[in-house]
Amino acid sequence: MARLLVVEDEPDIALALRTLLQRQGHEVHHAADGVAGLRAVHSERPELIVLDLGLPQMDGWEVLRRIRDLSDVPVMLLTAAGRDEDKVRGLRAGADDYMTKPFSNNEFIARVAALLRRSGDASYDGTDLVYGDVVLSPARHTVSVAGSPVSVTPQEFRLLAVFLRHQGQLLTQAQLLSLVWEDSSAIGTDRVKFAVLRLRKKLGWEDPECSPLVAVRGMGYRLDAPA
Ligand code: CA
């Protein structure tokens, strides 16, 4: 069982989703608008968020953007029928999956289960990510090196979190763009390069000869296991 958050303004759909998820043994919190949803992200620390795009006042896009500024929690987007273009936009904006209303209950349950499986047990629950003397805390949204706080932008934070979660794995420019940047279509790979350079500098890994964050020419980057 997992702790889930449903952000949905239509009471009937919210109730149906809640009932469905509770029947699977999940603990379900509900928010009826985006602001309440963001508040619940902080207070309930859900392990997965089901987010409707059509919300009053702050729409689902803005909610998603703000969630992604501070967390890698899996997000399943819900949207109205006939909005297929939202799918690509949603995945680019950092959503993990996407369903168009109306959808089959069985498919919804299966996709939620798959997302929870993929996200693993500890990786999204706010547990600190530790790499040598570097500590990234998703819960406090802080980075420190040898106990001293390091100031990073939200994008540098996300970039570091991605590297820490995929240690030893080559991440291509395209993967980094889609995982870290909200709109990967509008920017070039230079953006990745400069962000990596800034991150190296902030972490004291400037020397390319001994930086554990390695550039793989023409491919991407890899964070080697700590020495
Ligand atoms: Ca709605």
Interval between CA 114 and ligand 1 midpoint (Å):
24
Render pLDDT for 45-76 as a digit per residue (tens, 0 to 9).
898 999 999 999 899 999 999 998 777 889 99
Query: pLDDT value at position 1?
Result: 77
Question: pTM of the full predicted structure?
Answer: 0.56
pLDDT digits (tens, 9 = 90+) for 24-35: 888 999 999 999
Contacts of 79 (CB under 8 A, 6+ apart): 52, 53, 54, 60, 86, 90, 98, 99, 100, 101
Nearest to 170 by CA among 207, 114, 219: 219
Centroid of ligand 1 to alpha carbon of 37 (angstroms): 13
Instruction: Give the phi and the psi of residue 107 in degrees, each rounded to 5.
Output: -65, -40
33 Cα: distance to centroid of ligand 1 (angstroms): 9
